[in-house]
A and B are shown apart, each in its own frame.
Chain A
Amino acid sequence: MIAGRLLGRGMLAGCAAAALAFLFARIFGEPQVALAIAFEASRHAAEAAHHAAEPELVSRTVQASYGLLTAVVLYGTGFGGLFALVFAYAYGRLNLWSPRALALLLAGAGFLTVVLVPDLKYPPNPPAVGVHATLAFRTATYFAMIGLSISVAAIATLIGQKITQTRGAWTGTLCGAGLFIALIALVQFGLPDVNEVPDGFPAVVLWRFREASIGMQLVLWGTMGLLFGALATPVLADRTAPSRR
């Protein structure tokens, strides 16, 4: 039952963290989305542009409020669940840290492997950036990048743990981190590049959009880790073995 309680609390923590990430995205992300759509509209004023000319199924106001909130909450809840499962397995296995410290460590690792490393190869793009014809290809490579990033992190952690047993935590952690960087460099070198920024797209909008995207993810994962640590502590209160009784 303890795993189920952790799973529920993880999803709750992810959902609450998503509310905060939504505020961040709303303030810093939406203005850049609006600028990107304005660029797209001015560029394709004549032809039927995806956003501007087609009859809108969902209004911009709804997309930027309830739509964004729903997307971020689903995302936060989903990753909150996965995060709780990884935590439930790592607790008492990865290290002997308290639930709060372990949760923060794993949230950092989650942000790094699920968000930052994939974004280095395939950065988030605003509307108007990206050719529709390559969507399937871009989706496949993006998810492959996330899968490979998680796999490489798991391999590096296992090998780092093995080295820790014989050489100590300092050497083990450094070896694991080094292996992670080397394998990620290899993977990112091997995967195909995507270069679909249209001519004349404002560089500042692209940069600000990506800043907002990564910042929002940082808010999400950071809050989720802190909140989950607090929520998991009472659940795990009796799962400790004092070395003297």
Chain B
Amino acid sequence: MPHPTSHTRARAIALPAPVAIPVQALLPWAVFGLVLSVVLLYFVGAEQGAISLISGQEVHEFVHDGRHLLGFPCH
């Protein structure tokens, strides 16, 4: 790290310090975002592979190339 921006100096020259977002404000969005993201990633990565919520092979076949190239195990 270049010298003028080192931790203690930055305070000395009054650079604005970031203020953390309180956990209470974060929590509802964290739960919502986590659920949403996991659903999205599940359909790319595992549906109609190791686990099947929807019968058939259409989801698997449609995202087939992406599943391979993104590194998920696929048949």
Contact = CB atoms under 8 A, between A and B. Distances in A.
**A and B associate:** yes
Interface of A: 2-4, 7, 10, 25, 29-30, 33, 50, 56-58, 62-64, 66-72, 74-75, 77-79, 81-82, 84-85, 88-89, 91-93, 96-99, 102, 115, 118-119, 122-127, 130, 132, 135-136, 138-140, 142-143, 169, 209, 212-213, 216-217, 236, 239-244
A79 B64 CA distance: 19
A33 B21 contact: no
Nearest to B26: A3
Interface in B11-58: 11, 14-21, 23, 25-26, 28-30, 32-34, 36-41, 43-46, 49-51, 56-58
B44 A33 contact: no
Contacts of B57: 57
B29 A67 contact: no
Given A4-B29, A140-B50, A240 B17 contact: yes
B66 A92 contact: no
21 contacts: A3-B25, A33-B68, A58-B61, A63-B64, A67-B64, A70-B63, A70-B66, A74-B41, A74-B63, A78-B39, A81-B36, A81-B40, A84-B33, A91-B20, A96-B10, A96-B18, A122-B71, A127-B64, A132-B75, A135-B49, A139-B50
Contact of B26 (A71, A89, A209): A89
**Chain A interface secondary structure, helix, strand, loop or mixed?**
helix
B34 A57 contact: no
Contacts of A68: 63, 65-66, 69
A63 B65 contact: yes
Contact of B18 (A77, A169, A217, A236): A236
Given A85-B29, A88-B21, A74 B40 contact: yes
B66 A82 contact: no
